[in-house]
A and B are shown apart, each in its own frame.
Chain A
Amino acid sequence: MKKRVGILLVFALLFIGFLANWTYSYYQGLEEAYIPVHETSDIPVIPSEKKVFERSRYALDYLNMPVDENHQRTLDTYYNNRAYPGAPPSIPHPVKEKLGMGANVCLQCHQNGGFVEKFNAYAPVTPHPEMINCKQCHVEQQTQSTFVATNFYKKPAPDVGVNNALPGSPPTIPHQLQMRENCLSCHAGPAAVKELWIDHPERVNCRQCHVPKKQEVKNVELFVRANTNLK
């Protein structure tokens, strides 16, 4: 009898142990299955702010680059290649790759620039390398002639050297910033247009001194002080 009770007791203990163990691991399992939700604070990117700093890691290289006078672009050739100031430039050289959208083929030269023997010129650096469908906006010129002449008025480009308010004060930015937020890509390095080349690329935070000439925000009605001594 005693033996039987003993055996039963052992089984009962085993059973209780099993139950406890099972319950514990069940809840444990539940806990593990629960994936804690971390609120990820994704940091939004502000293109007009971010891109100013984008090529800044090359600033010291730009500073130390000698100026190659013989191969500098001029403002004239710069604007000749555009339908109007601010228009996407056309591709002034033949492109072998006809099928693709451009992407890495173009970026090989235009991401970081450099001297191209074949064209005897420095490749301009694109301010927006992340937009890889290059040929969506930049097209190859196959002919110099026109289908029919145009009456389109090409607005003169903004002048250089007249955009500062005081003698020696930093000039304001006379052009739109959309897709041109990266200052150093056009204003520094050997591919920079010589009239637009800056001698202090290492300052990096360009817009601390150079502010847009015209507001890009929508204008609200002109504010007039009610209490003023202006006649």
Chain B
Amino acid sequence: MYQSVHTNRRDFIKKMAMLSAMTAAASMFPGIIFAKEQEEGIPAGANLDWKKAPCRFCGVGCGVLIGTENGKAIAVKGDPKSPVNKGLCCVKGYHSIMAMYGKDRLTKPLVKKNGRYVQTSMKEALDLVASKMQETIKDHGKDAVSIYGSGQWTIPDGYVASKLFKGCIGTNNVEANARLCMATAVTGFLTSFGLDEPMGCYEDIDHADTFVLWGNNMAEMHPVLFSRLLDQRLKRGVKIIDFATRTTRTSMAADKSIIFNPQTDLAVANAICYEIINNGWMNKAFVEEHCNFSKGLTKMGYGLEDNYKFTDKPESISFGDYKAFLEDYTPEKVSKLTGVSVKDIKYLAAHFGDPNKKVMSFWCMGMNQHSRGTWINNLVYNIHLLTGKISSPGNSPFSLTGQPSACGTVREVGTLTHKLPHGVVMNKEHREFAAKIWDVPVENIPSKPTYHTVEMFRALDRGDIRFMWIQVTNPMVTMPKLKRYRDGAKKEGRFIVVSDIYPTPTTDIADVILPSAMWVEREGMYGNSERRTQYFEQMVEPPGEAMSDTLQLIEVAKRMGFEKQFYYKDETHIEEIYTEYRRHHDNKKHNMAPLEVLKSQSGAMWPYVDGKETKWRFNAKYDPACSNGKDFHFYGKKDGKAIIWQRPYEPAAEEPDTEYPYWLGTGRVVEHWHTGSMTRRIPVLHQAMPHAYVELHPDDAKRLQIRTGDKVKLTTRRGEITLPASVNERGVPAPMQVFVPFFDENMLINDITLDSFCPISKEPDYKKCAVKVEKA
């Protein structure tokens, strides 16, 4: 009740009458929704036109309704029909439309001439981009040009980028910032199941009894999903266990908070498996029927050196071998290393082991930005596989994403160096299949992947890459060990094109800045974490000459002579692209819903087969692609069996020592999304969280005589940075650890982070490096 209540007795009775009818309706139709609550805040008589869209920000993919008036977006409400958020948003979602109206919005292309940016027309700017790209290919070869996109690319953006670079130009220099956030989830899925993306869906939340959050501050980062957990706790008394390295809002809301030492989640996960097997909690029938055991290489290194290469060599092992391996991970042995008490390890194991409890695991960057990220992903799957708690309602290991289309675009369209929309570049059949749909000679698509993100920026620094087109992302804030890559990008003879909506530290290094049309200023689709593809139409006009990333790419492609492949008409190009894209996934395992369906409802989950979405993959009851006649069929692997991996604990690339005695971790806050280039331009959000800070444990702060607001100097082997301190406020790190959010371009924490990465996924570990802390 936001506006002042002026109820008299009659109104009150009317309200009671209405309420009793609503209660009666709710008893007849459980889950019934009335839009009243949301609409009440909208002033009467407001002549708003409400249209549905997925939210612009995180990977949860909330449905929002956007109210427009006189060609401007002026209000947002949660879409009650969306099965994702059921009418609720978070503070970012409610204010998301304000991100389109920042005063310094880029409206005209800018070209750098003699160190100054000069305004030009879109036509000239695109001519320049095309000619520069052709010139670079001529002088330095195909592999000297590259594109770096993001999980905020719509599906059509990513699709035309891949088609242009891999299919037409013929280079695998296609990467996206999802390499910095989701790559590990992908390799985790591929190694364990052979197919990417979660088997379950958000509906699992309504069935599960216990939720284990692995290093996932869900209350701030995925607040709308977390509110569904809280809702279930009120209604059904479910348990929420927060397993993390830092005390956060989630810990405060959880039923139990367990803190572990950074990197030692590997050991705890193995200890849980040990407990499960030794207490006889293993689901023997499930494991025998549906699982194999494997081990891979160990002591893989950390990718700190240029041109680092690693390929895992999987090797089959027996259950006996696996059991013997786990002997090193008894709760007693693991306790000292991890800082988790034996009791707490057994507590966790008991929740997974209890055959009467359905368990859902959630994780995001804590496990993915991890120098052994693929391993920890495997280990959590191990727990769920050993207990058979997978692929059925409420039993779900669930990998969350941080960007609106990290799944939809980067993972499904495959805008990573090794990927194609269907399959990988290394596979001849997959190349032939893609080339046919793309209408290009198959020889065009190189069979070798080139650079993953970190290596791509290293190549730019070295001069192997001369031309880079960056769209919808801000690498000059997000790259680890940022200084090297910033200096590299500024070197002579590099040509950088940046498509964005606001000036950012990344546009600062650009030679050409192209103004983009964002979100509902154009038409497009996003795909969220639960395999749900959602469509949005254009609702408002983009400012000035701003143009969608899809159209920018098409225009450049045409200028480079690929009119035949880029035949799309201006008015219908999104529909044409999506229809073409669907042909890549035309099979029971990945069929995408047709556009009419996406337009008529709040998205649809793939595989979309015979007019029905698939809620639980690999489960014969729900998934029409299962064909082995058993209850479960992990058809991503040839023999239909998922893999339980033997993965040991190994230390992080850089651990605290006497010189740099603290751990440094980075992350987000609820108010800001990623680098804040949008959310910081939303006054409500900026005022609530105006700048970054460094969180210290109260004991450390006391010893160093630091109070909230005092300047603190952080020094690592890469450099130093000064930030105001925060003690006992939003979060509290464990003793001898500090935490810094990365949204603030004025306090670039990534200048001092380490660019070590998971050797399998090549995703950097932003959560762990050694740092010295001093009062400044």
What residues of chain A have their CB less than 8 Å away from a CB belonging to chain B?
38-41, 43-50, 52-53, 56-57, 59-60, 66-67, 69, 160-161, 164-172, 194-195, 197-200, 202-205, 207-215, 217-220, 223, 225-230
Residues of B within 8 A of A53 (CB): 252-253
A229→B503 contact, CB < 8 A: yes
Chain B contact residues, CB within 8 Å of chain A: 1-5, 7, 9, 12, 16, 37-39, 41-43, 46, 48, 67, 74-77, 88-91, 94-95, 97-98, 103-104, 106, 110, 117, 219-220, 223-224, 226-227, 230-231, 234-235, 247-249, 251-253, 257, 259, 335-336, 339-341, 503, 507-508, 670-671, 682-685, 687-691, 693, 697-698, 708-709, 724, 726, 728-732, 734, 745-746
Chain A contacts of B97 at CB under 8 A?
166
A202 to B37, CA, bound (A): 13
Name A226's closest neighbour in chain B (CB-CB): B508
| A169 touching B95, Cβ below 8 Å | yes
Q: Which residues of B contact A225 (CB under 8 A)?
A: 104, 503, 745
Docked pose: A44 CA to B731 CA in angstroms = 9
Q: Given known contacts A161-B2, A211-B91, A211-B671, is B724 in contact with A218 (CB within 8 Å)? A: yes
Q: Do the beta carbons of A203 and B670 come within 8 Å of each other?
A: no
Q: How close is B516's CB to chain A, nearest CB, in angstroms?
A: 14
Main secondary structure of the interface of B (DSSP, over half): mixed
B43 touches A167 (CB 8 A): yes
Verify B708–A218 contact, CB threshold 8 A: yes
B74 close to A228 (CB less than 8 A): no
Kindly list chain B residues whose C-beta atoms are within 8 Å of the C-beta of A207: 91, 249, 670
Complex CA distance for A165 and B231, rounded to whole angstroms: 27
Known contacts A44-B247, A49-B248, A205-B227: does B2 contact A171 (CB below 8 Å)?
A: yes
Of the listed residues A66, A165, A166, A228, the one surrounded by the most CB atoms of chain B closer than 10 A to its CB is: A166
- B76 touching A169, Cβ below 8 Å: yes
A169-B41, A170-B91 known; A56+B230 contact, CB < 8 A: yes
The distance in angstroms between the C-alpha atoms of A161 and B40, with both chains bound, is: 12
Are A41 and B90 within 8 A (Cβ)?
A: no
Partner of B734, one of A41, A208, A212: A41
Give min CB distance, B497 to chain A, whole Å. Answer: 16
In Å, the complex CA distance between A167 and B690 comes to 23
Which residue in B235, B683, B729 is a CB contact (below 8 Å) of A165?
Answer: B683
Instruction: Please tell me which one of the listed residues A167, A171, A205, A213 contacts residue B74 in the complex, with CB atoms under 8 A apart.
Output: A167
Secondary structure of the A contact surface, majority rule: loop
Q: Known: A43-B257, A56-B234, A199-B1. Contact between A168 and B42, CB under 8 A?
A: yes
- Determine the distance from Cα of A207 to Cα of B508 in the docked complex, in whole angstroms: 35
Complex Cα spacing A156 to B258, Å: 45
Q: Kindly provide the distance from the CB of B644 to the nearest chain A CB, expressed in whole angstroms.
A: 29
Closest chain A residue, CB of each to CB of B218: A205
Contact A208 B251 (CB under 8 A): no
Q: Which 8 A-B pairs rank lowest in CB-CB distance, beginning with the nearest? A: A218-B709, A211-B688, A208-B223, A168-B41, A50-B252, A223-B746, A161-B3, A49-B252
16 new A-B pairs (CB below 8 Å) besides A166-B94, A207-B670?
Answer: A44-B728, A46-B247, A46-B728, A167-B46, A168-B67, A169-B75, A172-B684, A197-B1, A199-B37, A204-B230, A211-B689, A213-B688, A217-B726, A218-B709, A219-B691, A229-B106
User: Whole-angstrom distance between the alpha carbons of A213 and B42 in the complex?
Assistant: 20
- B684–A211 CB distance below 8 A: yes
A and B contact pairs by CB, cutoff 8 A, 9 listed: A38-B335, A60-B234, A67-B12, A164-B2, A167-B74, A168-B42, A170-B91, A204-B231, A210-B91
